Amino acid sequence: MEFGVRQCIIGCAALIMISPLQGSWAAEQPSSFQDKLRNVDLCNGVDRSSPEPQINGCTALIDAGNQTTRLLAIAHNNRGNAYFKKGDYDRAIKDYDMAIELLPSYARPLNNRGLAYQKKGDYDRAIKDFDETIKLSPNYARAFANRADTYEKKSDYERAAHDYDDAIRLEPNLKAAWSGRCWTRAVIGQLQAALTDCNKALDIKANDAATYDARDIKANDAATYDSRGLIYLKMGLFDSAIEDYSAALRFEPTLASALYGRGVARLKKGDAASGNADVVAAKSIKATIVDEFARYGVQL
């Protein structure tokens, strides 16, 4: 999934919750104990105003000493997630490295490190991490979905579709997996099956508040409308394509694929002024967009 719209939605920010009982705090004074409880909450992401409170809470736990190995591993993973949200992928990777070193059986930081490498464009390294994640946790649906997303970025749509199949089998209400498979099928021309997948993705209510924030949900819906727009465009249903691309742009106004696809649909309908404006805007955002759509089987 480009998931410039399509990436972090699949689980990069998922937390393992820290419990106060994981530390050796039984003899703490009340004020100190309350401070640690507050840091636990912050490290678990209770304050979503920005990544900084989570970074600060996790750092306080890490620096405090006298913590269990498991708590430290979780704190490093969660701080890595906060750095990921900031776009500081190198620091995120360092924290994921430490979480993995502390607790080698802990699959989540492996998955999250794979996403960080994916964001850095190191797709082979990302896939290696997802492979290891799945070995540790064969029922980890989001690792399959994240590997599928990475295969998509390598234009390996057959492997991507297979991994999405597994993700959906393991977690049937994983919204991003349905959306991702929709995109894969749309690109390779399995249009009716793709349409079914997109409709399913839009029907699923994103209610996993512990994993996704509002921005993730909006990005996921933008990706799905963008994918369904491509389906309608390839079917020749230009009014429906324009409607879906416009819906995607309401969520993500600078989504180049939606601007370009809507432009093509408008041009096909004879609306030269609006169509050319969309195409020019899309090219200004992403210079390679024309070539990308040509690979999808869409040309002006």
Residue 67 pairs in a beta bridge with: 23
Is residue 222 a contact partner of residue 258, using CB atoms and an 8 Å limit?
Answer: yes
- Residue 208's pLDDT band (boundaries 50, 70, 90)? very low
Give the DSSP letter of residue 18: P
pLDDT digits over 12-25, tens only? 444 455 654 455 44
Across 238-246, average pLDDT = 98
pLDDT of residue 48: 87
pLDDT of residue 215: 58
Across 164-192, average pLDDT = 96
Is residue 187 a contact partner of residue 181, using CB atoms and an 8 Å limit?
Answer: no
Residue 23 pairs in a beta bridge with: 67
For the chain, give every domain's residue range. 1-172, 190-300
Beta carbons within 10 angstroms of residue 7's beta carbon: 21
Give the DSSP letter of residue 67: B
Question: What CATH number was assigned to the domain covering residues 190-300?
Answer: 1.25.40.10
pLDDT of residue 216: 60
1-172 shares its CATH topology with 190-300: yes
Cβ neighbours of residue 284 closer than 8 Å, sequence gap 6 or more: none
- Residue 2's pLDDT band (boundaries 50, 70, 90)? very low
Would the pLDDT of 70 be above 70? yes
Distance CA 202, CA 192 (A): 16
Domain covering 1-172: architecture: Alpha Horseshoe (1.25)
